[in-house]
Structure 1
Amino acid sequence: MNENNPIASQVEQNTNLEAQSQTVDVQASNEQQTQEQVQVTSEQTAPIEQQVSGEQQLVDEASQAVSGGSQVVSQTESAQSETVLSQPQQETALQREQRRNKRARLMQAFAEVKAAFQENKPIEVNVYARVRGGLRVFYKEAPLFLPASHFHLRHSPTDEELMEVVGKNLLVMVHEIQEYDEGSMAVIVSRKKLLEEEFWNNLKVGQIVEGKVSSVASFGVFIDIGGAEGLIHISRIAPYRIDNLKEHFKIGDTLKAVIIEVDKENKRIGLSRKELIDASTWPATEEKYGVGTKHTGIVRRIVDFGAFVELEPMVEGLLRTSEISWTKRLRRPNEVLKVGDKIEVVVTAFNAEKKTISLSMKRLQENPWPTLHEKYPLHSIYEGKVIQVVAQGCVVSISPELDGFLPRSKMKKILKGNKIPLKQGDKIKVYISEIVPEEESVILGLVEEEEENPRQENPKRQPNPKTYETKPLSSGISIMDMLSDQEKENLLKSLKK
């Protein structure tokens, strides 16, 4: 420093101060991130401007009092040095402190998350945003991820359901933690376990629930009642019999049911619809099912004497075997019907008091008996097939539409004692013996071979014409000699006969 020239000395000091200020600024910028560097650079401008102003002031003061210049320079140097050095150092320390505090809070939050995971305890998080695959949530300072598949008991919630919870707090369980070498941590949380516990704890026997049909099996119907499936067994579907569930229910149908069993350990729920259906009220009315009304029904049960036909839920009618066909002699209805068949019927009787309906199939068609003889004349011959053998005779089918009865009295020539020598499936030739429209009956006769083709006489059993020889009398005159020629011819003819 040049002591003889205060102004030059002051300029040299100012230059040194600028160098010191730049050195301090470089050190601060190396410790801070890029954003802090920009802030420090802007803050360096203020001390430099203060230095320039200070230089002008020192020049003025030096012209007034040179002797006091050194003291003024010394005071100015100290003040400027403090201004240049202390301000950046104070802001950098504050930012560092904030950064350290934020990291400390983050590490504390992750530590609490890890402890909750180890102790299997729930934590409360705030939903920050809807992101791909789920939700971004925060536990205090710690960012976490809630997958969509763990948001609800259902596997795939809708996007609307996910958006509705943004900004809200949720209770979750820590599902998985992955720690990395650099100290960072990825955490996946889930709501499933908490929702499952809440769901099963709230289920009570006797509670009425509602859900959509998720599948239909031969033994029952499964419905989704809020993330878990319950089974309505076929025996609990209704107070009436249902044989084919797929004809009554389909996937997506909404049903109400009563909880009859809760097995939390095996995650099973038993349901029933019987209790929700009033079986005491018969839905059939005479107005709807009066005599002569026609309906489409489903064969639900087959018995020896007929078939029960479902006309609507809780409404069945009886179709007796005799009411199936006008002209076929059926032993049992399963010869032409099977369970599940859809058939057209007409009501022949309705009794509201007994809750019974009688049905007929054949009466949907015109009665053919009054004119049957025109199509099947008496004594016309047919090749028939034995379809049933009974003690009184045989039932014989003579066409796809007509069966007749061949009684024992028409089989005398083939009977072997009391046994009928025919069996089911035998083919025989019969003729129409009688038609009785009042009894809806056709009586058949057995065509014997000699009746169809008159029997030819056996030549071995036919008598041969005899040749008579005349012997002469002892006198040489025979009787023939005593007859005329006409008498001889007549006698010979009588002998030949």
Structure 2
Amino acid sequence: MTDQAQNTGDQEQSFAELFEASYAGQGEPLNLGDKISARIISIGAESVYFDTGTKIDGVADKKELLDAEGNFPHKEGESIDLYVVSKTRSEIVLSRALAGAGGYEMLQSAKDAGLPVDGKVKETCKGGFSVEIMGRRAFCPVSQIDARFVENTEAYVGNTYPFLIAKLEERGRNIVVSRRALIERERQAATEEFLAAINPGDEVEGTVVRLTDFGAFVELAPGLEGMVHVSELGFTRVSKPDEAVSVGEKIRVKVLGVEPGKKPGQMKISLSRKQTMSDPWADIAGQLKDGEKATGKVVRLADFGAFVELLPGVDGLIHVSEMSYKKRINKPSDLLSPGDVVSVVIKEIDLVKRRISLSLKDAEGDPWVEVAAKYAPGTQVTGTVEKRETFGIFVSLEPGITALLPKSRMAVAVDPKQFDKLQPGDSVTLVVEDLRAAERRIALSPLEVRAGSQNEGGGGGGRENSDWKSYAKPSKPAEKPMGLLGEKLALALKTKK
């Protein structure tokens, strides 16, 4: 071998070594359908470039990597799981799912590896949908198009979704796909990731997905829900969840507990929205005081009273006995309804028990305060009959002031029969016979009574229009007792006669 030939061989060997060295550390060659973790090396206006771990860089459409709000959430140096959908000597095209025209081998590889493929829903058909995948027709049962119950099948037509290949037969002429299987797989992965990172006491953000009578279900991760009991929705007294939250609303919650559910694979997650809020009772000392007037909204009625929201999350109670001076209240709904705005007087604040006692009637004022000046004995009044009782007739003089016309006073009227005809609602004119403001009692008397009967029946202070004593007959002098002997003598004289 000449020196020139040897030099040529050495150069070829060196070139081969250099060529092999250029691939050293670049990893195994990639094939169509491979799933890789690609690192972002550059972000362009329309494309994103990746380090694929091989000599050839990867490229992906930037639009495909946007989030639900249309933003690009990734940064250089960040890694993303993508699939190899095509490759040339100069670049590797990457995507979140397999798409485009592909042969039977690619479909088989996607099925065997459980790789998602993009499919466009072309139309509805008997039992499901016709889906175009890699230029081929596939069938998706209606139960497999989504993880939830499908009410409107037409809503899916025209949309492109990732699918898993469930069945591949007859060299690609019979293809059955499932979107639901992919959703559930992604949910399971998200659930495992979430549960591995979450602990009781952590605060997280979720979306309200449904409401029940006893609480609100909040989605914490795709397919993973927790429940906020109605008592934990807020400090404000809530009777129904829709009073505090609505479906689709994003709320912050605290994880109270995580435990296995009744069914295998299910998790029971207890949440609280209230415990992420500040305690409204901590600041009421400077805002509410005993004896002061306040305004609030009636939020709930009970048999014994009405709850009034004075501040967000702070309720007080108006007991039924504190509702009105002006009329008898048998149940709160006789006077109030939820949503009513009322003025009340704060009677007592108990911070330890978190109770506030309120009075509606004190805020309106006590009509008995001025009765002494308005209804002195001897005053002629006109009122309305409220009701009849065996002992007399109750007469309303004004709202909150009811007096009694006793039966004994009706009996001494010049015309007693006039009172027999009175019915509730009738107007009647009488005279104040007796006033006892401290006892909240007013006794009435007819305008005209028979002579000599002014004080019959225990009429209190009394009213005299004439000197009835001048019409009284003189009484006979009392006879002295004769004793037993005298009685026998008188009887004997009478018998003898």
* TM superposition score category, shorter chain reference: 0.3 to 0.5
Which protein is richer in helix relative to its size?
Answer: 1
Which protein is richer in strand relative to its size?
Answer: 2
